[in-house]
């Protein structure tokens, strides 16, 4: 393949802010078609990317080699399966599916077809998380005993839309949305989970899906993760607080890449993922603290690895099996919140 043709299903926030700019910035990939019916979005797709706007996913099969599914959550698994059935490699936005079993079925189909399948867990490439992984790998914190991780916002007025008003069949709510990232990061850092406890609430009028959720994970290695996702936090906590046997890492503020993508900056631009020094975290113990430069964020690496996997037959950047594992934890969290009990995983 001289150039890998990419078809994108969906041009909402996920498609327009994340996938399309990253695809455009990746050498060897070309965005050729985008599924969207909105007239303004169709015009933007043509003007900004030179891609063909189409109305149905079925119009992609003859136009692309790789399909990116960035449609509403409830359609992720079914559209991924349809693309695989038509012989196309697939990137699925998170959450991979509504249930772990739904995701396993798509994973089995990809294996049977011999096609690449991966999930857009882009926040493995957040600069702050890359920094945490480096500190842990270097032994700078000793043995990690607790990971505290937050995606908190102050949005007292609902924005509307299916993410806030949908039910379980829509995979709506913050646990499926931002929680997919926090659970995935915890699994990547600390390994498999044995027990899950969750408190999940709907705090705002007119909202049907969770907007204020806490999840506690017990990992097989003995560490614990405490994870918060909330739209109703008037005073934001630290993005990361990682406590180890000999030191800790404390970091406030979100990774800069989403902010810069929303501003229209190219992810291929010099310094795109670099964070200013006034946003760096600190590491140490007691009063002995030092500033820690944040690793550059690297969302573009996800699609670079997709391009490489398609050309070489190598592994995808995110294995579907790891995304299935995260969904199993999310399902256990939902059950825990409903039954008000600790749920064993596996």
Residue 138's H or E segment, with its range, is helix 127-138
The superfamily CATH assigns to domain 123-298+328-344 is Dihydrodipicolinate Reductase; domain 2 (3.30.360.10)
Residue 69 contacts residue 81 (beta carbons within 8 Å)? no
Question: Distance (Å, rounded) from C-alpha 42 to C-alpha 330?
Answer: 35
Nearest to 196 by CA among 14, 295, 336: 336
pLDDT at 269: 97
pLDDT at 14: 97
pLDDT at 346: 81
The pLDDT of residue 62 is above 70: yes
Residues 45-59 have pLDDT tens digits of 999 999 999 999 999
Query: What percentage of the chain has pLDDT greater than the value 70?
Result: 100
Q: What region, left, alpha or beta, does residue 271 occupy, with left being phi > 0 and alpha being psi -120 to 50 degrees?
A: left
Strands annotated E in the chain:
4-9, 29-35, 52-54, 66-69, 89-93, 117-120, 144-152, 193-201, 212-219, 224-230, 240-244, 248-251, 281-285, 288-292, 343-344
Q: Which pTM value belongs to this model?
A: 0.96
212-219 and 224-230 strand pairing? antiparallel
286 CB burial (10 A radius; 0-12, 13-18, 19+): exposed
Residues 131-153 have pLDDT tens digits of 999 999 999 999 999 999 999 99
Give me the mean pLDDT over the 95-119 stretch: 98
Question: Distance (Å, rounded) from C-alpha 346 to C-alpha 337?
Answer: 18
Every domain of the chain and the residues it spans: 4-120, 123-298+328-344
Residue 52 contacts residue 63 (beta carbons within 8 Å)? yes
- Rg for the chain (alpha carbons), in Å? 20
Residue 81 contacts residue 92 (beta carbons within 8 Å)? no
Nearest to 230 by CA among 211, 215, 216: 211
pLDDT at 1: 61
The pLDDT of residue 290 is above 90: yes
Question: Distance (Å, rounded) from C-alpha 45 to C-alpha 15?
Answer: 11
Q: Which tokens in the block code for residue 178?
A: 């931002």
Output DSSP code: residue 73. Answer: G
Nearest to 213 by CA among 225, 228, 203: 228
**Same fold? 4-120, 123-298+328-344:** no
Residues 83-97 have pLDDT tens digits of 999 999 999 999 999
pLDDT category at 168 given cuts 50, 70, 90 is: confident
Question: Distance (Å, rounded) from C-alpha 172 to C-alpha 98?
Answer: 9
pLDDT at 2: 87
Q: Which tokens in the block code for residue 151?
A: 């995606």
Question: Distance (Å, rounded) from C-alpha 235 to C-alpha 293?
Answer: 25
324 CB burial (10 A radius; 0-12, 13-18, 19+): buried
Tell me the pLDDT of the chain averaged across its residues. Answer: 97
| 113 HSE (CA, 13 A, CB side) | 20
Query: What percentage of the chain has pLDDT greater than the value 90?
Result: 98
Domain 4-120 CATH class label? alpha beta
């Amino acid at each position: 393949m001289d150039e890998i043709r990419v078809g994108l299903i969906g041009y909402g926030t996920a498609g327009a802010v994340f996938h399309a700019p990253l695809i455009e910035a990746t050498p060897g990939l070309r965005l050729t078609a985008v599924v969207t019916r909105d007239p303004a979005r169709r015009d933007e797709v043509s003007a900004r990317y030179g891609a063909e706007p189409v109305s149905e996913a079925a119009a992609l099969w003859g136009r692309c080699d790789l399909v990116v599914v960035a449609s509403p959550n409830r359609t992720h698994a079914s559209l991924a399966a349809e693309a695989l059935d038509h012989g196309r490699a697939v990137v699925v936005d998170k959450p991979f599916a509504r249930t772990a079993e739904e995701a396993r079925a798509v994973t089995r189909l990809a294996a049977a077809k011999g096609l690449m399948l991966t999930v857009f867990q882009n926040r493995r490439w957040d600069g702050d998380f890359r920094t945490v992984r480096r500190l842990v790998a270097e032994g700078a914190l000793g043995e990690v005993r607790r990971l505290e991780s937050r995606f908190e916002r102050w949005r007292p007025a609902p924005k509307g839309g299916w993410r806030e008003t949908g039910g379980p069949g829509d995979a709506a709510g913050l646990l499926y949305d931002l929680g997919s990232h926090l659970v995935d990061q915890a699994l990547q850092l600390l390994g498999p989970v044995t027990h899950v406890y969750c408190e999940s609430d709907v705090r705002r009028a007119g909202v049907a899906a969770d907007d204020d959720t806490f999840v506690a994970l017990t990992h097989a290695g003995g560490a614990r993760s405490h994870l918060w996702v909330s739209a109703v936090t008037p005073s934001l906590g630290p993005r990361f607080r990682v406590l180890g046997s000999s030191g800790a890492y404390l970091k406030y503020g979100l990774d800069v890449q989403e902010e810069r993508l929303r501003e229209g900056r190219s992810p291929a631009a010099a310094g795109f993922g670099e964070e200013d020094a006034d946003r760096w975290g600190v590491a140490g113990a007691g009063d002995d603290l030092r500033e820690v430069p944040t690793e550059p964020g690297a969302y573009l690496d996800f699609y670079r690895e997709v391009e490489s996997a398609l050309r070489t037959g190598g592994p995808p950047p995110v294995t579907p099996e790891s995304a299935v594992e995260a969904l199993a934890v999310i399902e256990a969290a939902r059950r825990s919140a409903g039954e008000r009990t600790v749920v064993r995983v596996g």
